Structure 1
Amino acid sequence: MSRKRLDVSWKREVQTEDFKPALKRYTRYLEESGLRESTISSYVVRVGKFLEFARTDEPDADDFAAFQETLHEKRLSRSSINNYCFAIQRYYEMRGKAVSFKFIRPANTIPYFFDENDIARIFSACTNLKHLAMLQTLFYGCLRASELCNLDDCDLDLQALTLRVEGKGGKEAIVYITDDCAKTLRRYLEVRPPLVIDGRKPLFYTDFGKRWERRGVYRMFMYYKKRAGIEKKGGVHVFSRHSVGSLLVKRGCDIVTVKELMRHSDVHTTMRYMHISDATRREKYEQFLRL
């Protein structure tokens, strides 16, 4: 007598919660590797998306290759794809396995930046003294958002108009600020009560008594950018890094000085800012090529 197979699917749906133990182990692994908190957070999110795609916390090399294809199909930026791959490579490394990927060389150009008028409009749109102090410190100090969040009171020297910052790879550096920025910071410090968090006195903290995080700085900047009526692409990094470098080059600053002010380890990184307009090139041509 033949038996009829039940028309039932016993396939188990994989839930995001199933990957929490693996992601917790991965987080500890990254912490023990000495990576920055912001990098760890970014890597964990990316690996979480990969595990959801692979539907297992023990993916193989084919899963990685298939996921890479989806990243390209989504037309993500080169740097985003590279960061996904670096994060996933670390996950395999944690599991004692090795996978490789072809690093995609980022385009060595700056696709967009804010000009002088854009910057002035953003500052003018800012009616909050603390936010204005943060935006001016970001811009004039050529800071990354993470560097701003990590500043303490002791890092600021209003007499010398300098800031001590901890940049990429834990490298310390002294950066400059302008008189206007210092005036805003003095007004801000007169109003702001000092606060100790984890034994440190942060220069900037939220109204809830916590250190600022990069996401919060990004949202704050985007609010004032929208309020200023600026529709150009770009977030905090474009504002305080790409725009500063572009403006320095546009105004005739030599590339070596730009490199030092931007704290680039390689001058080829600084060369991305050599996209000055034809009108500016003509002006410099007329200025310097005269007999």
Structure 2
Amino acid sequence: MDEGDLSRLDDFEAHLRDERRLSPNTLGSYRRDLRSVVTFCDAAGIARWSHLQPQQVREYAARIHRQGLSGRSIQRQLSALRSFCRFLIKQGVLNRNPAQDIRAPKTPRRLPHGLDVDRIQRLLDTNVDGWLAQRDLAMMELMYSSGLRLAELVDLDTRHIDLEQAEVRVLGKGRKERIVPVGRKARDALLEWFKVRASRCADGESALFINRTGTRLSRRSVQQRFRLWAQKRGLDSRLHPHALRHSFATHVLESSGDLRAVQELLGHANLSTTQVYTHLDFQRLSQVYDQAHPRARKSGKSS
């Protein structure tokens, strides 16, 4: 790829950062996906973006599919390429989008992994010993109480929490802000955490959750601590923090049936994203039906 065309990637990243104000994590994903396309173009002898044809984009999608990428990952890469090409059209570099009509192969949609109420109680109903355990409990209670993403949790500052009003202000995907209630258990855990945070915090640190050095906790550290908690409580040691967000959504939907409210609480831009939880709910209802309905129960006797 020519240097001039490579520099278009830097221009696009600046556009995403400064004008669309995307998060560093999202910028990193765009960068990796588009660099993968550049590697393909270099191998195929495509020196300029204007030389890229729809058939070659289709070949690229097929190649990364053969390499084992899921349909969802391929769709994400194609989406990044489409966005980049739209940017190049506005810049007058392209006159059409070669990735516009290329679609990734479909893969079965995986249902989110969550915990039932009994397992949530096993995880959270415990006496804490030490400031790290108090911090961890406050994080887990807040994630389950308010349905936060992992990135949203670690990005929280103390000013984002209002314990008097029992609410948290969250900056979600696309830098969209939402205000979510904080439940009683989470509020109590946060009150206890605030009592010990001040003595452990580095000077000037605004992060709500801090590490041993008194600075902002990383996502990787949260993942490790959650796995440790799950292992100690006799749960799945591979427990991911997002399981608490999924559990929150599932339990609220089961109790309320209000899909729109769950969408707002989760910060989903589209209702279709939230609708995956209706599949979880239907799955549970199907199990109840199979066990309870006289015509659904399997007979142990052969006819």
Q: Same fold (TM over 0.5)?
A: yes
Name which of 180, 193, 208 aligns with 1:188.
Answer: 193
For 1:268 and 1:90, the matched residues in 2 are separated by: 21
After superposition, give the CA deviation of every residue in 1:216-260 in whole Å (9 maximum; x if it has no partner). 4334434434454544976333x1332222222334544344334
- The aligned residue for residue 123 of structure 1 is 124
For 1:138 and 1:284, the matched residues in 2 are separated by: 34
The one-letter code of the counterpart of 1:181 is: A
For 1:81 and 1:223, the matched residues in 2 are separated by: 33
Residue 45 (1) aligns with residue 29 (2)? no
Residue 241 (1) aligns with residue 242 (2)? no
1:124 Cα deviation from its structure 2 partner: 6.1
SS in 2 for 1:159: coil
Q: TM-score, normalised by structure 1?
A: 0.72
For 1:270 and 1:91, the matched residues in 2 are separated by: 27
The alignment of Structure 1 onto Structure 2 pairs a total of residues equal to 265
For 2:138 and 2:258, the matched residues in 1 are separated by: 28
- The aligned residue for residue 209 of structure 2 is 204
Residues 106 and 136 (structure 1), Cα distance of their counterparts in 2 relative to 1, 3 Å cut: farther
1:54 Cα deviation from its structure 2 partner: 4.1
- The aligned residue for residue 166 of structure 2 is 161
1:169 Cα deviation from its structure 2 partner: 2.8
For 2:267 and 2:291, the matched residues in 1 are separated by: 28
- The aligned residue for residue 298 of structure 2 is none
Correspondences of 1:38-117 after superposition (within 5 Å): 38-55=25-42, 58=48, 60-61=52-53, 64-92=57-85, 96-97=93-94, 98-100=97-99, 101-102=102-103, 110-117=111-118
Residues 102 and 64 (structure 1), Cα distance of their counterparts in 2 relative to 1, 3 Å cut: same
- The aligned residue for residue 299 of structure 2 is none
Q: CA RMSD in A?
A: 3.8
For 1:160 and 1:282, the matched residues in 2 are separated by: 44
1:272 Cα deviation from its structure 2 partner: 1.8
What are the ranges of 5 or more consecutive residues in structure 1 without an aligned counterpart?
1-19, 286-291
- The aligned residue for residue 31 of structure 1 is 17
What are the ranges of 5 or more consecutive residues in structure 2 without an aligned counterpart?
1-5, 294-303
SS in 1 for 2:169: strand
Residue 148 (1) aligns with residue 153 (2)? yes
For 1:207 and 1:49, the matched residues in 2 are separated by: 37
The more displaced of 57-66 and 144-153 is 57-66
For 2:214 and 2:57, the matched residues in 1 are separated by: 41
The question of whether the paired residues in 1 share the 8 Å contact of 2:209 and 2:217 is answered with yes
1:39 Cα deviation from its structure 2 partner: 0.3
For 2:166 and 2:277, the matched residues in 1 are separated by: 25
The one-letter code of the counterpart of 2:248 is: V
- The aligned residue for residue 133 of structure 1 is 138
Name which of 251, 274, 285 aligns with 1:270.
Answer: 274
For 2:167 and 2:120, the matched residues in 1 are separated by: 21
The one-letter code of the counterpart of 1:110 is: L
Residues 85 and 267 (structure 1), Cα distance of their counterparts in 2 relative to 1, 3 Å cut: closer
1:185 Cα deviation from its structure 2 partner: 0.9
Residue 178 (1) aligns with residue 183 (2)? yes
SS in 2 for 1:66: helix
1:261 Cα deviation from its structure 2 partner: 3.0
SS in 2 for 1:192: helix
The question of whether the paired residues in 2 share the 8 Å contact of 1:141 and 1:175 is answered with yes
SS in 1 for 2:275: helix
The more displaced of 81-90 and 205-214 is 205-214
The question of whether the paired residues in 1 share the 8 Å contact of 2:146 and 2:181 is answered with yes
Residues 264 and 58 (structure 1), Cα distance of their counterparts in 2 relative to 1, 3 Å cut: same
The more displaced of 111-120 and 156-165 is 111-120
For 2:105 and 2:248, the matched residues in 1 are separated by: 26
For 1:107 and 1:42, the matched residues in 2 are separated by: 23
For 1:284 and 1:203, the matched residues in 2 are separated by: 47
1:203 Cα deviation from its structure 2 partner: 1.2
The question of whether the paired residues in 1 share the 8 Å contact of 2:40 and 2:60 is answered with yes
The more displaced of 50-59 and 267-276 is 50-59
For 2:260 and 2:16, the matched residues in 1 are separated by: 35
For 1:234 and 1:79, the matched residues in 2 are separated by: 22
The one-letter code of the counterpart of 2:245 is: R
